Amino acid sequence: MHDREFLSASGVALARAIRDRGVTSLAVVQAHVDRARLVNPALNAIVRDRYEAALCEAREADERTSSIHRDDLPPLHGVPCTIKEAFAFEGMPNSAGLWARRDVIATDDATVVKRMRSAGAIPLGVTNISELCMWFESQNKVWGRTSCAYDAARTAGGSSGGEGAIVGAGASPIGIGSDVGGSIRMPSFFNGVFGHKATGGIVPSTGSYPPAHDAVQRFVTCGPIVRRAEDLMPVLRIVAGPDGIEENCTPCELGDPAAVDMRSLVVFSVEKGPGAVQGVLIDAQRRAADALAARGAKVERREIRGLSRSLDIWSAMLDEGRGGGSRFRDLMAHGGDFAPWLELAKFPLGRSQYTLPGLLLSVLEELPAKFASRTRRILALGKDLAAELADVLGDNGVLLYPSFPRVAPRHRTPLLAPFQFAYTAIFNVMEMPSTQVPLGLDASGLPLGVQVVAPRRRDHLSIAVAMALETAMGGWVSPKRFA
């Protein structure tokens, strides 16, 4: 493996080469640091780096390589990664993009960070997010705006947009994000890489900010954003499982994607959701379905009417799951005074330290309580949809479903169509695993993609399909703008 190959290889392949002493961790980490230094000024993805510390840790990893038997080294020994800034990472910022937390430095590691580091991964830094992780553009008053890896004029997505952008630009093989409404899958889609939202409740979010409470812990999922599909399950195995802290995290026996026979799968291609989808994305989804059919899967076009109410169902179930816990406006206040209407008045004058999406959400979150009877009807629809999806998929079915109704939007334009995240959000409250899969580029060089949704606790099925589609359709493509 040569220096340039480091920037396209999977984390698993890099770890294997390091264990076999074919390459050094120092060389691998240095290559990614050099790439990050090249691309990050254009992306604003890594908001606080630790490059020198990472290189020092790489040297220490190489010392262990020479003194410990290869089979005793951890699975990601010496491999670089990046971490979403919302996760506590000792000595690094943990603002969650909120101005009132701009000086917060973590004093401990979040569970997923601790597990990645114990697995031998070497973090290069922390990456940008949306304010309090509740919008699908990664912009805030602390760190500014992150741009798409393929086009500086377009959003990287959110809330794990920094992870999507830095992985999409080839500067990190593995990123760790979190997802309550699509915050892993949308950045993965917009930046042309793979991302996995696990089955609800199998990966603890302990140490992330804002913290999840009550049933929302099953809707918030932490997981991998990677440039190569073969990293999805190994990283999921590392971060999954109870930590003895988060009460709603439960054990899950993860299957093996390599053991999945495509001929045993039924693939339901669902094209209709809560709105119109760009034709280029539907065409890409159909090509993906054809590729799976060519590998022996049974493919069936399907319509699931309940998906048209995705936004209503997600909103109602998320509000119910809070169980009367902290409101978003309380988080925005961070223990101080916060008057959203006043801040909205100050915003056009450039005098507010909050983002417009955060202010609007602070106002809109009061609406569900004003329509309690309607909310009960929506919750019933959610139960019906969950039952229908379970019945349709059985044990060996997966959905192909749009990740978003259009390719990566231009900056600021998501505010003109603020509810399009419903395509991904619905599977959080359904607690179903969903894997984002890149499907090449459109005529303008922007990533295409689809999400693959599997039954609960069958994460290996959607990951197996992702691996098959990577083989058939090429997977991640390095952005030409950084060639």
Contact 180, 60 (CB under 8 A): no
Marked catalytic residue, from 25, 84, 114, 130: 84
d(CA 281, CA 301): 15
Which letter does DSSP use for residue 170 in this model? Answer: T
Marked catalytic residue, from 178, 183, 310, 315: 183
Look up 197 and say whether it is catalytic: no
Which letter does DSSP use for residue 154 in this model? Answer: B
d(CA 58, CA 26): 5
Marked catalytic residue, from 159, 160, 352, 403: 159
Look up 138 and say whether it is catalytic: no
Contact 378, 312 (CB under 8 A): yes
End-to-end CA distance of the chain: give it in Å, rounded.
19
Tokens of 379: 């919750």
Q: Is 273 helix (H, G, I), strand (E, B) or coil?
A: coil
Which letter does DSSP use for residue 270 in this model? Answer: E
d(CA 178, CA 374): 30
d(CA 249, CA 315): 22
Tokens of 120: 């031998």
Contact 278, 407 (CB under 8 A): yes
Radius of gyration of the chain (CA): 21
Contact 195, 149 (CB under 8 A): no
d(CA 332, CA 350): 18
- Hey, what's the torsion of the CAs at 38, 41, 42, 46, to 10 degrees? 90
Query: How many CB atoms within 10 Å of residue 410?
Result: 12
Contact 393, 302 (CB under 8 A): no
- Residues forming beta bridges with residue 176, ordered by sequence position: 83, 224
Query: How many CB atoms within 10 Å of residue 153?
Result: 10
Look up 159 and say whether it is catalytic: yes
Contact 120, 80 (CB under 8 A): no
d(CA 482, CA 37): 12
Query: How many CB atoms within 10 Å of residue 146?
Result: 34
- The residues carrying an active-site annotation are 84, 159, 183
